[in-house]
Amino acid sequence: NFRKYKTTTRKKGYITLIKPSNKSLKGIKKKIKWEFAKLKGASVQQLIWKLQPIIRGWTNYHNGVVAKETFNKLNDYISWKLVRWCKRRYPKKDWKWIKEKHFGCFCPGREDKQVFGSKEQYLDKAPWTKITRHTLVTYDYSPDNPNLQEYWRKRKERQSKKTAEGRLPKGRNKIALRQKYKCPYCRQQLGDYDRVHLHHIVPKEHGGQDKYNNLVYVHEECHRTIHALGATKPEIQTRLYFGIKTPPKNRIQKPKGTKPGNKEKSCTK
């Protein structure tokens, strides 16, 4: 499923890059083509239900190698097949009507206006998959070594984070990642996402929108508590906003007109 090639660096060294093989790309295209052929008369929900696990499984399998270019090629092919499927389904409708009905900004974590589906369900895109390099363990790094407990703890946290990312669609995972996979109301881990709710900090009946800055994941018990106490209370909304904010980095601003590496010159003589 992978192919290797070498590239030359500036220091005339060689780095082995691993990419998905052309055979693997042709295989996933053939599988997607077969699903489109079987679902010519299906609904949009059935099409997404069939294609979603295929795309997500293949991209998650190749997310540890140099696969961004391959993901873009796969996305172009799926987009072309979706357009053909929509035109067959609505032969008497023009493209503008089809685009407004089935393509839009449906992913709450992204501003992409070409997402296929609806507000309730949408199809993930292959380039949304984050490339994460796998770090090999050296032969002398034993889990039983007491001096390496911190290393194994961080490695386990990274693996848990990667597992959590695979449980949600790519757009919604962006929301959970901003929260560091914790509920901002009770400050506990979200868990396996089987009992969580995507909550609007400002409710829809009060003008809240399906925007990235207005959505947050909370436990179902916390969601019921929030609405029981009053979702529009300022203290509750402030608590939710505080849980998703990222503290700014402390950076020392250099005076204007100075170059890096040069000392600031005095204006007085």
pLDDT tens digit string along 189-235?
887 666 788 888 888 888 887 777 888 888 889 999 999 888 888 88
pLDDT of residue 58: 93
Q: How confident is the model at residue 73 (pLDDT cuts 50, 70, 90)?
A: very high
* Integer Cα distance of 50 and 29 in angstroms: 14
84 is written with which tokens? 């053909």
Q: Is the pLDDT of residue 257 over 50?
A: no
Between residues 246 and 147, the one the model is more confident about: 147
Q: Using alpha carbons, select from 195, 129, 184 the residue that is nearest to residue 162.
A: 129
Q: Is the pLDDT of residue 268 over 90?
A: no
Burial of 143 (0-12, 13-18, 19+ CB in 10 A): exposed
Say whether 20 sits in a helix, a strand or coil: strand
* Integer Cα distance of 254 and 259 in angstroms: 9
Domain parsing of the chain, residue ranges: 2-128, 169-244
CB of 20 within 8 A of CB of 72?
Answer: no
Q: Is the pLDDT of residue 9 over 60?
A: no
* Integer Cα distance of 268 and 266 in angstroms: 5
30 is written with which tokens? 């053939």
Burial of 212 (0-12, 13-18, 19+ CB in 10 A): middle
Rounded mean pLDDT of 94-99? 93
